[in-house]
Chains A and B, each alone.
With several copies, the nearest count.
Chain A
Amino acid sequence: MRTKKIINAGEDAVDEMLDGILLAHGDVLRAADASPRAIVARDGPRPGKVGLVIGGGSGHEPTFVGFVGRGLADAAAIGNVFASPPPDPALACVQEVDGGAGVLFMYGNYAGDVMNFDMAAEMAAMEDIVVRTVLTTDDVASAPPDAKETRRGVAGNFFIFKAAGAAADEMMSLEEVERVARHANVRTHTMGVALSPCSLPQTRRWNFDLGPEEMEIGMGIHGEPGIARGPLKPADAIVDEMMDRIFDEMGAARGDRVAVLVNGLGATPLMELYIMNRRVQARLVRAGLTTHATWVGNYCTSLEMAGASVTCMHLDDELARLIDRPCHCAMFRVV
């Protein structure tokens, strides 16, 4: 029994998706000549600006391709579903966005992505383009605090990319954009919960089992097992579990500001995300924190997985300014 999808051949899904994206958003996006899997902002890269290249596997839309556009990422390298892109499209991205000020790679901390993007960076170095790399590691569920640097990057990408993209848009130097990106990453924490599996277009099988009354706390955005599996709880209890962990990690003081993302994994209705947001905001108020901005919706998905994550970015003046800075992407705008 195959899972139900509105696709043609599973092998063609990513390329056909990109066709559909370029047809819908041709005003903002184009494919690089050198690679159809390198999607570039029409109005992003410019001389003297640090180029920001993001990327990773497909299946997380609008992450990554949807965050390409002026003020955010200059290009995205697109992999197969849940698979890092090979070096070629990443290198094509670098070539397209290099404005002479260097290029920053940003992507989630996964072994495959690291190997492929590193190879691309080596190839870029041979063309005398300086490429630096910042990995996102916002998923607090994926490793204990003493091994933070091994954590996965998940929905918090959204804030971390946004901050770095705004820094580059402000024409900061490569060193400065890299500093901002690392700072944003350290200040961003995400915790997720999955209620159902997802399925790859090529296999059309559920990629893991979850009992009819179960949820998994901390599941990764590719269905990687999380921290713990247990009975499905009410929304407030789920959010409390998330917020307790996030507060622990964040170490914010009363009066501090945060930006919030309540993210759906693909099959969870906005109704549920807003019900979660109600509790998130209640917990922030109780902790004496101020919500500077809130986004609710599907920002980093896992195909048709049901579930959600909460991300808090602990702001300072610089991060608040960068998060507020306008951007114009195919699937995300700040005005």
Chain B
Amino acid sequence: MAVTGADLIGAFAAIAAKMAAERDALCALDGEIGDGDHGIGMALGFGAVREALAELGDDAAPTEVLNTAARAFLSAVGASTGPLYATALMRAGAAVKGKDVLADGDAAALIAAMAEGIAHRGKAAPGQKTMLDAWVPAAAAAEAADGSFAEVLAAAAAAAEAGAEATAEMQATMGRAARLGERSLGHRDPGAVSAAMLIGVLAETLR
């Protein structure tokens, strides 16, 4: 299959809907070990992305879609997720630069670029109980999957999901929750949970 810019625009709209639906649940998760606003940022950010993308034509190239999404997310959100996802989306845009449509092989490249962008901006490593603990396993699974765009994303989504669950056993050493020490144990990281949702929606929509 071939994924167009319009497909990506559709995927972002689905992500926006998902984050809006999960907003309060993500806030509640963040309330346990953070400041209770993660769902607001994600819903606001992808809502702004959807609106900005609606201005683009259906013939927009994937890179343009991803760069527009990055800028819209960042200006709307700030917070921790703004720079992290903006950088991730910029990197994703760079990874597919010049392509009009994305082929199966690009799926793993997209996820890897997102993970790298987040790691670059946030300076976290896997195991520190952040969204990276969903994105890094997702990138690894995508790399290993080697199938259709949809199959690659499905593998990534499953790995992200497992990674997010695993954060419950981690003690945070990065971000707000780091100050909690052992009290962060037993709670999933909200950013990892929303990352798994995001990748899950990608897998459902880009097929």
CB < 8 Å: which of A86, A142, A152 contacts B82? Answer: A86
- Contact of B41 with A by CB under 8 A: yes
B24 / chain A contacts, CB cutoff of 8 Å: 203, 205
- Shortest A110–chain B CB gap in Å is 7
Q: How far is the CA of A57 from the CA of B75 in the complex (A)?
A: 14
- Shortest B137–chain A CB gap in Å is 21
B183 / chain A contacts, CB cutoff of 8 Å: 225
- Contact of A116 with B by CB under 8 A: yes
Q: How far is the CA of A160 from the CA of B145 in the complex (A)?
A: 53
Q: How far is the CA of A84 from the CA of B80 in the complex (A)?
A: 7
Q: How far is the CA of A203 from the CA of B26 in the complex (A)?
A: 11
- Shortest B119–chain A CB gap in Å is 13
A142-B179 in contact (CB<8A): yes
CB < 8 Å: which of B23, B36, B122 contacts A223? Answer: B36
Number of A interface residues in the complex (CB < 8 A): 33
B176-A224 in contact (CB<8A): yes
B147-178 contacts to A, CB under 8 A, are 174-178
B82-A112 in contact (CB<8A): yes
A225-B180 in contact (CB<8A): yes
A87-B80 in contact (CB<8A): no
A207-B35 in contact (CB<8A): yes
- Contact of A85 with B by CB under 8 A: yes
The prevalent SS among residues of B at the interface is helix
Bitwise, B78-101 to A at CB < 8 A (1) or not (0) is 111111100000000000000000
Q: How far is the CA of A64 from the CA of B177 in the complex (A)?
A: 23
**Nearest-CB residue, chain A, relative to B27:** A203
CB < 8 Å: which of B79, B121, B177, B180 contacts A84? Answer: B79
Q: How far is the CA of A108 from the CA of B82 in the complex (A)?
A: 17
Number of B interface residues in the complex (CB < 8 A): 36
- Given known pairs A142-B179, A200-B40, the reply for A223 and B80 (CB within 8 Å) is no
- Contact of A51 with B by CB under 8 A: no
- Contact of A3 with B by CB under 8 A: no
CB < 8 Å: which of B27, B31, B75, B176 contacts A111? Answer: B176
**Nearest-CB residue, chain A, relative to B34:** A224
B37-A116 in contact (CB<8A): no
Q: How far is the CA of A150 from the CA of B176 in the complex (A)?
A: 10
**Interface 9-residue window, one of A25-33, A75-83, A126-134, A231-239:** A75-83
B27-A83 in contact (CB<8A): no
- Shortest B34–chain A CB gap in Å is 6
- Contact of B53 with A by CB under 8 A: no
Q: How far is the CA of A82 from the CA of B37 in the complex (A)?
A: 7
B27-A200 in contact (CB<8A): yes
B75-A112 in contact (CB<8A): no
| Chain A interface residues toward B at CB < 8 A | 11, 57, 79-88, 110-112, 115-116, 119, 142-143, 150, 152, 200, 202-203, 205, 207-208, 220, 222-225
Known A-B contacts: A83-B41, A115-B121, A205-B27. Give 8 more (CB < 8 A).
A83-B37, A86-B76, A115-B82, A116-B78, A202-B40, A203-B36, A222-B176, A225-B183
Task: Please list the 9 inter-chain residue pairs (A to B) with the smallest Cβ-Cβ separation, ordered nearest first.
Answer: A207-B36, A222-B35, A112-B80, A83-B79, A115-B83, A86-B78, A84-B78, A112-B79, A207-B31
